[in-house]
C-alpha cells in the first residue's frame, strides 16, 4: 500500500530551479538574459513565497524555473516551502541550481508533497522528478518519505478497510519485511495473557481486539520501545460521540501509524537499535458487551481502573501496553496517541504537545524536532492535577470530574503505568492536515516521527562510538 519514492541521478540536462527572494531579486534578475528579464517583467513576476515563473526558451520549452521563497531574515521561514514544487511543476526532470537554503529539507518536502492516497482514486501517472541535490543522503530521505507515506496510507484508509484485522496485518507485514520477531494476541487470549483493559475496550466490536508486539535489532543496541494507540474507529462507546465529532474517527489509530512509520525509518537504517513496537488495536463500538461507565477493571500493572467515561478509551489500551513495555526496562519509551481534543484546543492541529519526566530528554526531543522541521511543544506534568485521578473505590479513574486540562490529566493517567518516567515521553498528536501545505498534503499526517528518528539514530550512533 505504501508509495515508492526516490530521486533521479544528477543530470546537467535537467531543468534548473533557482530560488529567489525579494531581498536579492534585483541582483539576481541582472544575471538573466535580456529576453528572460523582459519575460519576467511582462508576467509582472514578484519573488513572493511559492510563486513560480517558468522561463521559456526559443522553442517554447521551459529552460529555467524561478521559485519565490522567504527572505533570509524572515521570522517564520519554512524549510519545506520549496517542496511545493513537487505538485506545481509540469512533468519532467529538475535540479536545484540556486539554493535552497536547506537542500535536504527541500528535497524531502518535494517527495512528501507528491503523496496521494490512491486506494480509490488513482494518482496522476506523471509527476515532476528531482535530481539528487549535491551533498544530500538521497537513500535516507527516500526511506523517510516512504515511511511517512506508509503511515499516511494507514490513517487515510476508511475504517471499513482499516479495521483491527487490517491494521494488525499491516504491522505484521512490516515486521516480517524487516525480519523482526513478531507476536499477535487476539480476542479472549488477551485475558489469558493479562491485558484486561485492551480486551474491555475492544470486546464490543465485530472484529476482536488484539495486540501486536514485535522486536527488531541486536540485543546490545539502544533499547527503544514505541507504543501506539490503535483505535481503528472510536464511536465513544456508550458515552457516544455526536456525529460531528465522529466524522474523522478513522484517524484514531494515528498513534499506531506514527509508531509504525517511525519503526520503518529506524529498521531501514544502519544504527544499532533494539527496537520494540507494541500496538494495542481495537475498535470502540457500541453493542451488548460494551464496557460501561463505572465499570472497574484491574489492568496489567495491577491497578484497579474505574471507567469515568467510555470515550476516554485510548488511555486504557495504552495503560496495558505501557505496563508491558516497562517490563523489559527500555532506554527510551515513547507512546503516541490521538488522545485528547484538549490538546487541539491548547495548541491547534499542527503542534502536538508532549510530556516527559526528564528535562534533558525534553530538550533533546525539542532540538531534534526543530532540526527535522517536525514541530511539537512540551506541556507540563502538573503534579497538583494528579490527585484528580484518584478513585474512591478504585486506584485510579480514567477521567477527572472537573474536565479541565484534559491533555495534561491524560498524560498523568498514563504516567501511573510507567515505571521510569525519566525515560518516557508521551505525544498527543492530531495526525491530520485540514488543508494542504508544502510537504503536508490534506489528510492523514505522521507527526513527531521524523524528529524522533533523528534523536534515536543520534543516540544509537553515540552509544556505538563509546
pLDDT in tens, 287-316: 999 999 999 999 999 999 999 999 999 999
Rounded-to-integer distance, Cα 277 and Cα 333, Å: 10
Q: Where are the beta strands (DSSP E) in 254-358?
A: 273-284, 296-298, 304-306, 332-337, 353-356
129 given a catalytic annotation:
no
- CA-based R_g, the chain, Å: 24
6 lies in some domain: no
Rounded-to-integer distance, Cα 368 and Cα 375, Å: 10
Strands 181-186 and 210-216: antiparallel
Q: Which residues of the chain have pLDDT under 70?
A: 1-4, 73-76
Last residue of a domain, one of 96, 118, 136: 136
What pLDDT is attached to residue 58? Answer: 84
116 given a catalytic annotation:
no
Candidates 77, 140, 241, 367; catalytic one = 241
Q: In which domain, by residue range, is 122 found?
A: 15-136
Based on the domain organization, do 335 and 396 belong to the same domain?
yes
Based on the domain organization, do 105 and 250 belong to the same domain?
no
The model's pTM? 0.96
Rounded-to-integer distance, Cα 141 and Cα 407, Å: 33
> In 3-state terms, the chain is what percent helix, strand and coil (to 5)?
35, 20, 40
Last residue of a domain, one of 77, 107, 136: 136
What pLDDT is attached to residue 5? Answer: 82
3 lies in some domain: no
The one-character DSSP state at 389 is G
Rounded-to-integer distance, Cα 54 and Cα 75, Å: 28
382 lies in some domain: yes
Candidates 116, 315, 437, 440; catalytic one = 315
326 lies in some domain: yes
Report the CATH number that the domain containing residue 43 is assigned in CATH: 3.40.220.10
Question: 180 near 216, Cβ under 8 Å?
Answer: yes
Grid look-up 537554503 returns: 101
Rounded-to-integer distance, Cα 276 and Cα 329, Å: 11
Based on the domain organization, do 129 and 193 belong to the same domain?
no
- Give 440-445's long-range contacts (Cβ < 8 A, gap of 24+): 440/80, 440/112, 440/113, 441/112, 441/113, 441/115, 441/116, 443/117, 443/152, 443/155, 443/156, 444/117, 444/151, 444/152, 444/153, 444/154, 444/155, 444/156, 444/251, 444/254, 444/257, 445/152, 445/155
Query: How many domains does one find in the chain?
Result: 2
Amino acid at each position: 500500500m505504501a508509495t515508492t519514492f526516490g530521486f533521479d541521478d544528477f543530470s546537467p540536462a535537467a531543468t534548473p530551479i533557482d530560488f529567489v527572494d525579494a531581498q536579492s531579486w534585483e541582483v539576481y534578475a541582472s544575471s538573466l538574459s535580456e529576453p528572460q528579464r523582459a519575460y519576467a517583467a511582462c508576467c509582472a513576476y514578484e519573488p513572493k513565497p511559492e510563486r513560480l515563473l517558468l522561463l521559456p526558451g526559443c522553442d517554447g520549452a521551459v529552460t529555467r524555473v524561478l521559485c519565490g521563497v522567504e527572505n533570509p531574515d524572515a521570522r517564520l521561514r519554512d524549510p519545506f516551502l520549496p517542496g511545493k514544487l513537487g505538485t506545481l511543476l509540469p512533468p519532467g526532470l529538475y535540479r536545484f541550481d540556486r539554493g535552497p537554503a536547506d537542500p535536504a529539507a527541500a528535497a524531502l518536502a518535494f517527495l512528501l508533497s507528491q503523496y496521494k492516497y490512491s486506494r480509490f482514486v488513482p494518482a496522476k501517472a506523471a509527476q515532476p522528478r528531482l535530481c539528487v541535490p549535491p551533498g544530500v543522503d538521497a537513500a535516507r530521505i527516500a526511506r523517510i518519505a516512504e515511511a511517512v507515506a506508509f503511515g499516511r496510507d494507514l490513517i487515510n484508509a476508511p475504517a471499513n478497510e482499516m479495521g483491527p484485522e487490517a491494521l494488525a496485518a499491516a504491522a505484521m507485514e512490516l515486521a516480517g519485511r524487516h525480519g523482526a520477531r513478531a507476536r499477535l494476541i487476539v480476542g479472549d487470549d488477551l485475558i489469558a495473557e493479562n491485558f484486561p483493559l485492551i480486551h474491555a475496550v475492544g470486546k464490543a466490536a465485530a472484529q476482536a481486539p488484539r495486540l501486536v508486539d514485535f522486536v527488531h535489532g541486536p540485543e546490545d543496541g539502544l533499547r527503544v520501545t514505541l507504543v501506539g494507540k490503535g483505535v481503528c474507529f472510536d464511536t465513544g462507546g456508550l458515552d457516544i460521540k455526536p456525529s460531528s465529532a465522529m466524522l474523522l474517527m478513522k484517524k484514531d489509530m494515528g498513534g499506531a501509524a506514527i509508531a509504525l512509520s517511525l519503526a520503518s525509518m529506524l529498521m531501514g537504517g544502519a544504527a544499532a537499535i533494539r527496537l520494540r513496537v507494541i500496538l494495542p488495536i481495537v475498535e470502540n463500538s457500541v453493542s451488548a458487551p460494551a464496557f460501561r461507565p463505572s465499570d472497574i477493571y484491574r489492568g496489567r500493572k495491577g491497578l484497579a481502573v474505574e471507567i469515568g467515561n467510555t470515550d476516554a478509551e485510548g488511555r486504557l489500551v495504552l495503560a496495558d501496553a505501557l505496563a508491558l513495555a516497562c517490563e523489559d526496562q527500555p532506554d527510551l519509551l515513547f507512546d503516541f496517541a490521538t488522545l485528547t481534543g484538549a490538546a487541539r484546543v491548547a495548541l491547534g492541529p499542527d503542534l502536538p504537545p508532549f510530556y516527559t519526566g526528564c528535562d534533558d530528554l525534553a530538550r533533546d526531543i525539542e532540538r531534534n524536532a526543530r532540526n527535522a522541521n517536525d514541530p511539537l511543544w512540551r506541556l507540563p506534568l502538573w503534579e497538583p492535577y494528579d490527585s484528580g485521578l484518584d478513585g474512591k473505590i478504585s486506584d485510579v479513574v480514567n477521567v477527572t470530574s472537573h474536565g479541565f486540562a484534559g491533555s495534561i490529566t491524560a498524560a498523568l493517567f498514563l504516567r501511573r503505568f510507567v515505571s521510569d518516567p525519566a525515560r518516557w515521553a508521551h505525544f498527543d498528536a492530531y495526525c491530520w492536515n485540514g488543508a494542504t501545505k508544502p510537504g503536508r498534503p490534506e489528510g492523514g499526517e505522521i507527526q513527531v516521527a521524523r524528529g524522533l528518528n533523528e534523536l534515536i539514530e543520534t543516540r544509537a550512533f553515540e552509544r556505538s562510538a563509546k
